[in-house]
Amino acid sequence: MSAVTTSRRPLGTRASGPRSGATRSGAVREPLVSRTSAMLVMAVFTVYFLLPLWWLLVASSKSTGDILTTNPLWFADMRLFSNIGDLFAYRDGIFLRWLGNSLLYAGLGGAVATLLAAMAGYALAKYRFPGRELVFDVVLGGVLVPATALALPLFLIFSQVQLTNTFWAVFLPSLVSPFGVYLARIFAASSVPDELLEASRLDGAGEIRTFFTVSLRLMSPALVTMFLFQFVAIWNNFFLPLIMLRSEELFPVVFGLYGWNNQLNQIPELRGLVLIGALLSVIPLIVIFLLLQRFWRNGLGTGALK
């Protein structure tokens, strides 16, 4: 007679199976409450950031009288394109001149500042020379100094060489980017292999050719990120044009709209022009973010991982 054996579990043990809160594949299931809370917080902040843009769009589509008498968050009589035409025609199109000045200051200044910062950061990362760390410490100190603290010394320097109220008074200070130098050094040290540079030198390429043909391509995510930050900083720069410029033809768009806003008590019809001008001045920033988002997101992610 065959004996029948039965297996018994020790007391206090439980049958093996999928744990609560985990899927059969082993992945931990996210609690529904935390997911809902995160989505709610994101929705609140999204509304918080987009509501001013929505109000600006709605106000820009109204006449001057409707701005203060109708629902501020909904359209009334749609006059968006008519208001844009009035803005472009006001005072022989001075707004277009301001917009072109801002594009020149921010576009050209951001490009040159990015190149200079990339060269400086690359040199600090790949060359060893006496005082290298001291130079880098000075650059880090420059990151901590607010731009407004440098405006008055810059004005005194430019006034000595009689460059105030000129294009150069706003353009030349925009070429300095301590944060760009810092970011370039971090990226150059992590993304440009020394072996690749040695191979390029063995092939007969000089240092300048190696930098422009090899290193810049490897540093491209950092360059786009640096350009984006510098472009936005120059575009929104207000204090420097305030103390440097007196001629209206040289104003950037931000400072020009500020001047119109100060005249609202004397010229109430400028209210609509200021609003539609503010809306149009935001569009270049949105466009450049959308065009470069793939590159600068990769750049920020790579920098965080490195």
Indicate the domain borders of the chain. 33-78, 90-305
Query: Tens digits of per-residue pLDDT, 223-279?
Result: 988 999 999 999 999 889 999 999 999 999 999 999 999 998 888 888 889 999 999
Query: Tens digits of per-residue pLDDT, 45-87?
Result: 999 989 988 999 999 888 888 888 888 888 888 888 999 999 9
What are the C-alpha distances in Å from 47 to residues 50, 54, 55, 180, 205? 5, 10, 12, 32, 54
- For 22, the 3-state DSSP assignment is strand
Q: Furthest-apart CA pair in the chain: how many Å?
A: 115
- pTM comes to 0.81
90-305: which CATH topology? MetI-like fold (1.10.3720)
DSSP code at position 70 = S
